[in-house]
Chain A
Amino acid sequence: MTQVPEPQPTDSSATPTRSADAVVVRGVDKTFDTRSGQVQALTAIGLTVSAGEFVSLIGPSGCGKSTLMRLIADLDQPTAGSVTVFGKTASRARLDQDYGIAFQQAGLLPWRTVAANVGLPLELHGATSRDRNARIEELLDMVGLSDFADRYPDQLSGGMQQRVAIARSLAEKPDLLLMDEPFGALDEMTRERMQTELLRICAETGAAVVFVTHSIPEAVYLSDRVVVMSPRPGRIQQIVPMALTRDPEHAEALREDRAFFDGVTAVREALHTGSPVPTGARGVENR
């Protein structure tokens, strides 16, 4: 893997007007050099995420969904093609802190209190302690952890730690959230509650989201569009639009809605394209 030198921030006095699209991925290939030769992780990926849109990437292990997210985050560089975030290169967008990110592991710093963890990005970017404290309070309130500001991560449950990580990803009010299976390690109950909370937070902040998951119901419940990917080599199989009417008052009822099940079926069929869908599909996969 070649390390692309990081471009230095150029002081663009004229703030570029936000393009309508949060993420534009064009003709992206990604190959990894491994000991046993080259591995084609992604081929010919094209994807556009509009501002404020919630897009899930779903597919079996090895389909490159996490890799695609890492390319958008500029944690890896594409072998071919281009990734644009709000009209800038991915690396420019990273340096400008245009997105917030949450991983499957909460990734909190165990020697810092909850409040200090949430404030980490603000601290690194030189926010004054007064601004920082006000923002931390706001964020902890948003994720319902105001009473835990002085606790250490190890004193919290997995779900609470993940909420801290989400609060941290929102610290700088990003217009784009990248989430790599953030609820993957949580139990089903906590998971559903977190999904509902995430939708509420997204509605409040108006951020676009790229959400990596391997759970069909999760993708359907959260997304405006579900990008179904297939492995070897990783490519986009189909993009399934969701037609769910979201009503914040009855967010939970949606899980038993007709449209929800239709969405699940559509994504299932897209995932199983090429291989027959098992009949007698009693099981919506739960995870």
Chain B
Amino acid sequence: MVLTLPGKSRSAARTETTLRIIAPIAVGILVLVGWQFLVSVIGVSDYLLPSPAAIVEEFIEFFPSMVSATLITGWNALLGLIIGSILGILLAAIAAGWRPIDHMSAPVVASLAVIPIVALAPVLNSMFGADSQFGRQAIAGLASFVPVFINTLRGFRQTLPVHRDLMKVYAASSAQIVRTVTLPTAVPFVFTGIRIASSLAVISALVAEYFGGPRGGLGGLISTSAASSAYARAWAYVVASIVLGLVFFLATLALERLATRGRRRS
């Protein structure tokens, strides 16, 4: 399906796209150059702020460890995101269909939403033992559940009165109404929820590693490196976590676009 943008010439659109890609890259390079300048010319000491060159060096030297750490944390986050999203969507569907469930779940969801990861992580880590990743996955799942649930529930309530009237006019069955109107109306909301949850899942999986449990994930290695004064290496792991977060965000954004293609985006 090819969609052409109306009212915009092709070349103008291309220039705009190029600009959109080049502008942030240029800003990024400028910041890096400024940073390097601060460290190597002005002489900010290494433990305060390692130079980009030193961070890149560490990144390359510890590359296999970077990859394995990213995979461990990424897997925890992904598992949490998937399970949290599925639970969120299912519970939202039930809450949308049945008012009492909605009223019962509202305070529970509200309290889940305000649980600080830092509070829960040590508890879960000791609950499931020092060599289990389960605690982190559970925390990522919990963090993902909330935005997915809230957005999905909102999505299920967005059905327009005119669409409801139409379905009644067509004497459509409940299953037909859900399939042709309720679900498609909710889809963009569900995917917005998942996109928000994706960043939260990565952050929670990573932060949960600071509080004990098996090392080897990005969070664990960041704290270990920092504790052993290997600041450049700690920063290199931070770079890896940024990459991981971006991958999650872009993947879910692509999913959202795919699910809402053909509709106007605001």
Given A107-B162, A107-B163, A120-B180, A152 and B170 contact (CB-CB distance below 8 Å): no
Closest to A169 in B: B169
Closest to B168 in A: A75
- Partner among A73, A120, A154 whose Cβ is within 8 Å of the Cβ of B263: A154
Given A154-B264, A155-B6, A94 and B184 contact (CB-CB distance below 8 Å): no
Given A103-B162, A154-B264, A109 and B169 contact (CB-CB distance below 8 Å): no
Given A109-B163, A110-B264, A152-B263, A97 and B171 contact (CB-CB distance below 8 Å): yes
Contact of B105 with A by CB under 8 A: no
**A111–B263 CB distance below 8 A:** yes
B156-172 interface (Cβ within 8 A of A): 160, 162-163, 165-166, 168-172
Residues of A within 8 A of B181 (CB): 109
Contact of A105 with B by CB under 8 A: yes
- A73 to B162 CA separation, bound complex (whole angstroms): 13
- Return the CB mask of A111-144 against B: 1 if under 8 Å, else 0: 1010000001100110000000000000000000
Contact of B262 with A by CB under 8 A: yes
Closest to B163 in A: A107
- Return the CB mask of B228-263 against A: 1 if under 8 Å, else 0: 000000000000000000000000000000001011
Given A124-B176, A154-B264, A107 and B160 contact (CB-CB distance below 8 Å): yes
Closest to B1 in A: A150
- For the side of the interface on A, what is the size category? 20 to 34
Number of chain B residues whose Cβ lies closer than 8 Å to a Cβ of chain A: 20
**A152–B262 CB distance below 8 A:** yes
- A49 to B253 CA separation, bound complex (whole angstroms): 54
**A95–B180 CB distance below 8 A:** no
- A97 to B169 CA separation, bound complex (whole angstroms): 8
Residues of B within 8 A of A103 (CB): 162, 165-166
Return A243 CB to nearest CB of chain B, in Å. Answer: 34
Contact of A101 with B by CB under 8 A: yes
Residues of B within 8 A of A120 (CB): 170, 180
Given A111-B262, A152-B263, A75 and B165 contact (CB-CB distance below 8 Å): yes
- A105 to B160 CA separation, bound complex (whole angstroms): 11
**A94–B169 CB distance below 8 A:** yes
**A110–B169 CB distance below 8 A:** no
**A125–B170 CB distance below 8 A:** yes
Residues of B within 8 A of A152 (CB): 262-263
Residues of B within 8 A of A105 (CB): 160, 162
A152-175 interface (Cβ within 8 A of B): 152, 154-155
Return B10 CB to nearest CB of chain A, in Å. Answer: 17
Chain A residues within CB distance 8 Å of chain B: 73-75, 94-95, 97, 101, 103, 105, 107, 109-111, 113, 120-121, 124-125, 152, 154-155
Top 10 nearest A-B pairs (CB, nearest first) are A107-B162, A154-B264, A152-B262, A111-B184, A105-B162, A95-B171, A124-B170, A110-B263, A121-B170, A101-B169
**22 A-B contacts (beta carbon < 8 Å):** A73-B169, A75-B169, A94-B171, A95-B171, A97-B170, A101-B166, A101-B169, A103-B166, A107-B162, A107-B165, A107-B166, A109-B180, A111-B184, A111-B187, A111-B262, A120-B170, A121-B170, A124-B172, A125-B170, A152-B263, A154-B262, A155-B6
Chain B residues within CB distance 8 Å of chain A: 6, 160, 162-163, 165-166, 168-172, 176, 180-181, 184, 187, 260, 262-264
